[in-house]
């Protein structure tokens, strides 16, 4: 498990040093990027209403910055500001104030300097943030499972992707859990565990299964569902998270990533892993333990379909040919840090229809403001579903509603296949 740094008296002060060095990855010595010398970086544990202060020290040979993915915090100044650029040898002091009613859940941090995001994350720069529940839930234990991938050459250095790999989104040859290949977990029969699972891959989609065990979905991305739901597979795009309850039964089970077809076409052929990847093993043995109390019911999530709608807009994701090769665009444009692409009134509720006019899936991430998914390809989503990464199916569309509240300011939205973000599939939104 990564080191855990926990807030005290409402404050968490941490220093994160981003540096290249020799680190342990999948049991071998590798030269990677890392925060504080470990892959993943330390886990930051907070409570609603806490203040998080991070001094980011850049010892990399290139610029960097920090994004607190999913946290409901300001995008301005020295908070979750995607436009900060920290030069090599410099440092920057971030400060984030969590609202008193911040949803509990698993969030994460990673670099967000345009054109370097995929390279830095793929090389090992990521870590988890946990916002704790206001009341303790009955579990035998909690596990944090940070899933990532990486490709190392024979010398242990991170291999750079070919041009076509960047176009499709790179997928690493090694798939890791907390920086390890195939760890073995142990439990006793009848225990109920909480698994917090993060897809920290730069491009890989995950369809997760745990054979022989009872798995329930507690929540996705942020907050918890009113009641747990039995599931057989959990689908996570890059950047997405799942909160799971696992009730153990005697035997040995495998935590697996099933094949995911994320599209393809043109010159790229089919995209996505076509193999089953064994992520970890769960060894359940010993004397059975008494069952725990039932998980308490929670209030139904907010439903923006009951709110007044202040506006609608449409976005189009596309891939096509242009001067110099393929272009990855939103509304026909590649990213320009000087251009405001969407201007939104603070306090408004809008409905966005996001079209994917391309042969590949694209996970859509909007900073600061979570999205309620309303429809996918005309299919209504009845249960209020709140995400900060929404998958756009190939040649399909998704309709979401967004409440632009709590914070104003300028930030970004983009494809969370991070190579696509770096290649220009990103826009700027300003709320005021």
Reading the chain (432 residues) residue by residue, the pLDDT tens digits are 899 999 999 999 999 999 999 988 888 899 999 999 999 999 999 999 999 999 999 999 999 999 999 999 999 999 999 999 999 999 999 999 999 999 999 999 999 999 999 999 999 999 999 999 988 899 999 999 999 999 999 999 999 999 889 999 999 999 999 999 999 999 999 999 999 999 999 999 999 999 999 999 999 999 899 999 999 999 999 999 999 999 999 999 999 999 998 887 655 567 777 789 999 999 999 999 998 888 888 888 999 998 999 999 999 999 986 666 678 999 999 999 999 999 999 999 999 999 999 999 999 999 999 999 999 999 999 889 999 999 999 999 999 999 999 999 999 999 999 999 999 999 999 999
Mapping DSSP onto H, E and C, the string for 58-109 reads EECCCCECCEEECCCCCCCCCCCCCCCCECCCCEEEEEEECCCCCCCEEEEE
Backbone angles phi, psi at 272, to 5 degrees: 120, 155
Q: Listing from the earlier edge strand, what are the strands of the sheet with 277-284?
A: 184-187, 277-284, 251-258, 206-210, 234-236
* Neighbouring C-alpha atoms within 13 Å toward the C-beta of 103: 24
Identify any residues that bridge with 146 across adjacent strands, giving them in sequence order: 198
Q: Tabulate helix, strand, coil % of the chain (nearest 5).
A: 5, 50, 45
Q: Say what the pLDDT of residue 23 is.
A: 83
Backbone angles phi, psi at 14, to 5 degrees: -135, 155
Give the number of other CB atoms < 10 A from CB of residue 7.
Answer: 19
Q: How far is CA 129 from CA 45, 261, 390, in A?
A: 6, 29, 20
- 32 vs 22: CA distance, rounded Å: 6
Give the number of other CB atoms < 10 A from CB of residue 78.
Answer: 14
Q: Say what the pLDDT of residue 327 is.
A: 87
Closest CA to 128 of 63, 178, 65: 178
Q: In the block, which residue shows the tokens 């495998």?
A: 254
- CB proximity list for 378: less than 8 A, separation 6 or greater: none
Q: Which two tokens stand for residue 293?
A: 């109390």
Closest CA to 221 of 197, 192, 247: 197
Check: CB of residue 58 under 8 Å from CB of residue 86.
yes
Identify any residues that bridge with 376 across adjacent strands, giving them in sequence order: 379, 398
Strand ranges for 269-336 from DSSP E: 269-270, 277-284, 311-322, 325-330
Cα three-residue angle 340-345-351, rounded to 5 degrees: 90
Ordered structural domains, the chain, with CATH = 4-131 (2.60.40.420), 141-284 (2.60.40.420), 304-431 (2.60.40.420)
Check: CB of residue 214 under 8 Å from CB of residue 230.
yes
- 406 vs 140: CA distance, rounded Å: 36
Q: How far is CA 188 from CA 213, 246, 293, 294, in A?
A: 12, 12, 17, 18
Backbone angles phi, psi at 419, to 5 degrees: -60, -35
Rounded to a whole number of angstroms, the CA Rg of the chain reads 21
Q: How far is CA 383 from CA 165, 216, 303, 398, 417, in A?
A: 36, 16, 9, 15, 27
């Amino acid at each position: 498990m990564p080191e855990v740094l926990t807030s005290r008296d409402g404050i968490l002060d941490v220093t994160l040093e981003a540096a290249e060095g020799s680190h342990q990855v999948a049991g071998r010595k590798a030269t990677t990027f890392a925060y504080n010398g470990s892959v993943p970086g330390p886990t930051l544990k907070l409570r609603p209403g806490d203040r998080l202060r991070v001094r980011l020290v850049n010892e990399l040979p290139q610029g960097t910055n920090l994004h607190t993915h999913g946290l409901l915090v300001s995008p301005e100044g020295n908070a979750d500001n995607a436009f900060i650029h920290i030069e090599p040898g410099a440092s920057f002091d971030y400060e984030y104030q969590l609202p008193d009613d911040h949803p509990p859940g698993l969030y994460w941090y990673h670099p967000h300097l345009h054109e370097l995001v995929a390279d830095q994350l793929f090389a090992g720069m990521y870590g988890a943030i946990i916002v704790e529940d206001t009341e303790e839930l009955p579990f035998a234990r909690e596990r944090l499972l940070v899933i990532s991938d990486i490709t190392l050459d024979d010398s242990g250095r991170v291999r750079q992707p070919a041009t076509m790999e960047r176009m499709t989104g790179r997928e690493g040859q090694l798939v890791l859990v907390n920086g390890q290949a195939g760890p073995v977990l142990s439990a006793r029969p009848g225990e109920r565990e909480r698994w917090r699972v993060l897809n920290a891959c730069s491009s890989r989609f995950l369809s997760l299964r745990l054979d022989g065990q009872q798995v329930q979905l507690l929540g996705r991305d942020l907050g918890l569902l009113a009641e747990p739901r039995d599931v057989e597979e959990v689908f996570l795009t890059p950047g997405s998270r799942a909160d799971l309850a696992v009730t153990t039964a005697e035997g040995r089970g495998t935590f697996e990533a099933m094949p995911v077809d994320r599209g393809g076409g043109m010159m790229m052929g089919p995209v996505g892993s076509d193999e089953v990847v064994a992520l970890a093993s769960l060894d359940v043995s010993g004397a059975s333990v008494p069952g725990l109390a039932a998980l308490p019911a929670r209030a139904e999530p907010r439903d923006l379909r009951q709110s007044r709608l202040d506006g609608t807009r449409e976005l189009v994701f596309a891939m096509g040919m242009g001067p110099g090769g393929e272009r990855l665009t939103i509304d026909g444009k590649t990213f320009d840090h000087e251009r405001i692409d969407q201007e939104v009134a603070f306090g408004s509720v809008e409905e966005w229809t996001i079209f994917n006019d391309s042969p590949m899936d694209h996970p859509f991430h909007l900073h600061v403001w979570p999205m309620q998914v309303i429809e996918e390809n005309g299919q209504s989503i009845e249960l209020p579903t709140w995400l900060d990464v929404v998958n756009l199916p190939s040649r399909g569309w998704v309709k979401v509603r967004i409440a632009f509240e709590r914070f104003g300011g300028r930030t970004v939205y983009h494809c969370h296949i991070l190579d696509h973000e770096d290649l220009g599939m990103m826009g700027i939104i300003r709320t005021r």
